[in-house]
Structure 1
């Protein structure tokens, strides 16, 4: 059996392409809160539209990205697909309402803790061994979240922060579920979550009152930036490692508050900056350690 080694230039080019995809995905996903704020409708209406367009776009992307096809991918995913869809429903609704009720910086800083929270569930549910670096990262991230949330009690935004925590718990549980059942289609999970979100929020939404502008804004997000950003991050894992993708996607947490300042003159409180810095540095160092361990 012969082994084919890629030339160094080709390896370098494919890694550069992978990082480019991950960066583009992070930039697109960081714009989501701008669309949510500019939609000009209630949280229930925004969540309904977000779910509706996700349910439309994901099956299309699934058809072109999964060789099994839509029907076979859904059947082979089995009951874990339904569980992942329900968790996606919780994560997406928490995200939308959090952006409506607290600062964009707080929402994205708390969401950036997902890798550490997922490690907790992997230990509790999958009984995976937890390294010392993971334990240190979990403690540091929990301290960071506490600092971020503490600043919202005086401003009255604590409900929005709590919803972001709920979103990150649901998201992390979904990561853990998909880690255990790796045959479950990621795109189908997001699509089913979007469908469930649209169905639930329909009872609280008023679609007949939406302006053309609202439909266009949420359509741009649900059909373009949100799905394309997520697909780019998935495709990037074919060219660079998962920890490298995770580290690159941290750019989303940095860019979202920047867009919030540019579009809404929203300045995050000092507690968000301090807690956010602690979380970002922790996840960054933890990702580097993971990458080094994977190369051994």
Structure 2
């Protein structure tokens, strides 16, 4: 339930990104700064002098996970700004496949047969989305989304191995990394008052709280199950954007996304059945 609430909140982020006209790296810079400030203020209020020790005790996982998260945030915002929300979140739905790959690559955790079956349908869905948009302006955004998906999957794999590390500190450092890199890439930092209000709402509340809730899920669930729950965003985010901004996904995106979501949903039901029988 914690993870699901975090995913629903994260689905609202796409609306904030779409309604602002500033470039993606400028948006990421402000979001990153606000994330860093808000989460460290929470740590200082709750832990006071122990805040520094939180960073010292878990410095390695904070640096590793924060860096990976920061990169994923940059590519996520770039994808949302460059292609449709549906394209981005349907590609992000393929993260369980990459989680299984990175779990084996770095921790030698072997995947079960169902992962290989699901992988086939995920690749099929990804192929439909990409080939339906060859030569269109959405292709670059799709590539950004696929890069984001890889970093996001890797983030949860590494994070699930460090259950004791403070999630607020990790996400705070992720915001710092995103802001630092974006600072050198942005051409302008000038924003109007309405944009500032949107950035404050997103950066101080929605983005950090959603990441904290989702990251907290890794303390109770394996990375593969957390990334499976992220597929909920594939339905929620396009719905919110359609409801508010009337953005409609293309036929290719809809068909490819439907293949991915259905494959992951059926796999989730299978995993639930297996867990009840063991």
TM over 0.5, yes or no? yes
Give the Cα–Cα distance (whole angstroms) in 1 for the partners of residues 149 and 192 of structure 2. Answer: 31
Q: Which range is displaced more, 168-177 or 203-212?
A: 203-212
Give the TM-score of the pair, scaled to structure 2: 0.88
Match of 1:51 in 2: 32
- 1:238-292 deviation line (CA, Å, top 9, x unaligned): 8x86677665543322121122223332211111111111111122122222233
Give the Cα–Cα distance (whole angstroms) in 2 for the partners of residues 118 and 248 of structure 1. Answer: 13
Give the Cα–Cα distance (whole angstroms) in 2 for the partners of residues 130 and 112 of structure 1. Answer: 18
| Unaligned stretches of 5+ residues in structure 2 | none
Q: Is the 8 A contact 1:89 1:194 kept in 2?
A: yes
- 1:41-73 deviation line (CA, Å, top 9, x unaligned): 111211111111111222244567889953232
Instruction: Return closer, same or farther for 1:97/1:235 CA change in 2, 3 Å cut-off.
Output: closer
5 Å-filtered alignment, 1:130-145, equals 130-145=111-126
5 Å-filtered alignment, 1:223-234, equals 223-233=204-214
Q: Is the 8 A contact 1:126 1:180 kept in 2?
A: no
| Unaligned stretches of 5+ residues in structure 1 | 1-17
Structure with greater Cα Rg:
1
TM-fit CA distance, 1:91: 0.3
Match of 2:174 in 1: 193
Question: Which residue, 10, 13, 18 being the options, matches 1:37?
Answer: 18
Q: Is the 8 A contact 1:25 1:229 kept in 2?
A: yes
TM-fit CA distance, 1:117: 1.1
Question: Which residue, 129, 133, 139 being the options, matches 1:158?
Answer: 139
Q: Is the 8 A contact 1:98 1:160 kept in 2?
A: yes
Output the aligned Cα RMSD: 2.7
Q: Is the 8 A contact 2:24 2:77 kept in 1?
A: yes
TM-fit CA distance, 1:196: 1.3
Give the Cα–Cα distance (whole angstroms) in 2 for the partners of residues 156 and 281 of structure 1. Answer: 27
Instruction: Return closer, same or farther for 1:130/1:189 CA change in 2, 3 Å cut-off.
Output: same
SS of 1:266 mapped into structure 2: coil
